[in-house]
Chains A and B, each alone.
Chain A
Amino acid sequence: MVVFDKPHALTDVPFHYCPGCTHGIVHRLVAEVIDELGCEGNTVGIAPVGCSVFAYNYFNCDMIEAPHGRAPAVATGVKRALPDNVVFTYQGDGDLAAIGTAETVHAAARGENITIIFINNAIYGMTGGQMAPTTLPGQVSTTSPYGRDVKIQGNPIRICEMLSTLSGTAYAERVAVDCVKNIKNAKKAIRKGFDAQIAKKGFSIIEVLSTCPTNWGKTPEQALEWLRTDMMAYYPLGVYKDKTQEEQ
């Protein structure tokens, strides 16, 4: 009798992620939600440019590879073409919070019925560890080798807080995947985002505080600890917007 298996919504292709990378956890959570909703046949996922660029090989639903940052616009095109399909994007810091900020803000402003999974690991992973709009003050990266200097580079952007000011945003929650309790909560949040979309409540985003041990120069355990001590202090977990119980 099978008590634990790979979700059907994940393919058999082995992940390429680094040891200790939390992408693997989040991919699994998204796939489990898709399985529980039984919507794999009706789902279209949009992959980003970043470490998770190969997400189109890992998820079993139809997938589209978007240009860097443009996933919310591509998702808008899909959802407007096929309003009864479930459309999600999976994006990192550079994709969503740098090059793609306009597409993110306007998809939220329009209240597009899509669900965005935002992986916030405070750095650019794929290109080798450069500063991201979410990199913390004083945090070292290859393009902030002396630590992020807010006088030159400004302060990091809090995406959930920013998007919650838009009336088109139906649901915005920040979660983390650093421990079992938070992982379970993250899955609930992702499920809530998909539910909100299916109930046509509007735009949903789940910001997932994640680790990048390789580019942070830490062991996986040190990375999880830094997420708890430093990232959560700047990016508090919680629900920033929830209109999902309101009538239309």
Chain B
Amino acid sequence: MKGNEVIAEAAIKAGCRHYFGYPITPQTEISETLAKRMPKVGGLCMQAESEIAAINMVLGAASAGKRVLTSSSSPGLSLKSEGVSYIVGSDVPCVIVNVQRGGPGLGGIQPSQSDYYQATRAMGHGDMHIIVLAPASIQEIADLTMEAFDLADIYRTPVMILADGALGQMMEPVDFEARQGREIPEKTWTACGHKNARPHNIVNSLYIEPEALEKNVLSRFERYKKIEENEVKYESYLTEDADIVVVAFGIAARISKTAVTRARAAGIKAGLFRPVTVWPFPSKQLLSLSDTAKAFLSVELNMGQMVNDVKLAVECRRPVEFYGRTGGMIPTVDEVYDKIISMSKSL
């Protein structure tokens, strides 16, 4: 199945029955698939008038207690930014998909990873985080999309699937049944009509008194601490004895893995560390790798964004280099391999 279609199918499997979105290349198949599938499962796939309207419809339906999905690509995420901040500040769960394309501005429609900073640093104004999951295969898209709905409900936060145009269009086999769902707390906070059985619920992000707003933000950051302690996901490939650890996520990790395998065949002790959660970032694991590794190489489809998280994680104990292409260009295995070789020469 194609990546975009898998997102749609996985959402339905996770019990999502409300999707709001707007067409934008390269992710429009998500809403086209849901337009066909949702009516068949008693759900709603609505094409909103804009990405702004869509994220606000998400706020409404999720405040009413539903599992809700929206998807877009890079420029559309910029439009959603205000809505995401309100959703975070109101502690409302939802799942947001970014199938990244080249930027900035209208940019291009080919794959990129240049929204990493936006996703992990600036998805909305204010002190906030969202959980960001970075799949690197079609099976992982299925698993992480289903996991995203659980994480969102458990922690009352937006969860993003940070994909790219290549993953969206790729086709690989997928099994939707393998994953175990998680236990979800009851949603007692929703704006769904109090039925005269409880005081009215208010879903809101306005705290006009600074003391109250600080308290509200601090309590949200307590939840972020729990997420950092419990939800970090990553994959290691040949890192235990690696001199050069390549760090990459998503499509860049697929390319880097092949380059690492080829480097090993050429006698270079290379390895791949693949963050699956880019927020929370697997900092602890990278820090302990810096005991044994001699250097790190961040490979990305951008001008160097995750590389700075790698530097922070290893506390600059080791050299951290970067290789990337941007604008929709995809690094080749040869390019990454050549970079590993040149790094190995100066170790």
A240 to chain B, nearest CB (A): 22
A43 to B203, CA, bound (A): 14
Contact with B along A4-48 (1 / 0, CB 8 A): 000000010000000000000000000000000000111110110
Q: How many A-B residue pairs have CB under 8 A?
A: 134
Q: Using Cβ atoms and an 8 Å threshold, which residues of chain B touch A53?
A: 206
Q: Is the CB of B193 within 8 A of A61?
A: yes
Tally of contact residues, B, Cβ under 8 A: 41
Q: Is the CB of B192 within 8 A of A85?
A: yes
A40 to B196, CA, bound (A): 8
Interface hit among B55-63, B136-144, B145-153, B286-294: B55-63
Contact with A along B69-108 (1 / 0, CB 8 A): 0000000000000110010001000000000000000000
Q: Using Cβ atoms and an 8 Å threshold, which residues of chain B touch A103?
A: 49, 52-53, 56
Q: Is the CB of B18 within 8 A of A42?
A: no
Q: Using Cβ atoms and an 8 Å threshold, which residues of chain A touch B202?
A: 56-57, 62-65
Q: Is the CB of B61 within 8 A of A77?
A: yes
At the interface, yes or no: A73 with Cβ under 8 Å from chain B? yes
Tally of contact residues, A, Cβ under 8 A: 35
At the interface, yes or no: A200 with Cβ under 8 Å from chain B? no
Q: Is the CB of B197 within 8 A of A106?
A: no
Q: Using Cβ atoms and an 8 Å threshold, which residues of chain A touch B90?
A: 64-65
Q: Is the CB of A70 within 8 A of B193?
A: no
Residue of A nearest to B17 (CB): A81
A66 to B202, CA, bound (A): 11
A16 to chain B, nearest CB (A): 10
Interface centre among B44, B49, B64, B191 (most CB of A within 10 A): B191
Interface centre among A59, A67, A74, A80 (most CB of B within 10 A): A74
Q: Is the CB of B56 within 8 A of A66?
A: yes
A43 to B195, CA, bound (A): 9
Contact with B along A65-87 (1 / 0, CB 8 A): 11100100111111111100100
Residue of A nearest to B58 (CB): A77
Task: For the complex of A and B, list the 9 residue pairs with the smallest distance between their C-beta atoms, beginning with the closest.
Answer: A77-B60, A73-B56, A77-B57, A77-B61, A70-B56, A74-B60, A62-B191, A65-B204, A81-B64
User: What are 22 A-B contacts defined by CB distance under 8 Å?
Assistant: A41-B196, A42-B193, A44-B64, A53-B206, A63-B201, A63-B203, A63-B204, A65-B203, A66-B56, A66-B86, A73-B48, A73-B57, A74-B57, A76-B46, A77-B60, A77-B62, A77-B63, A77-B68, A79-B60, A102-B50, A103-B56, A106-B49
Known: A53-B206, A78-B191, A80-B61. 13 other contacts (CB 8 A): A44-B193, A57-B202, A63-B204, A65-B203, A76-B46, A76-B60, A77-B57, A79-B60, A80-B44, A80-B60, A81-B65, A102-B50, A103-B49
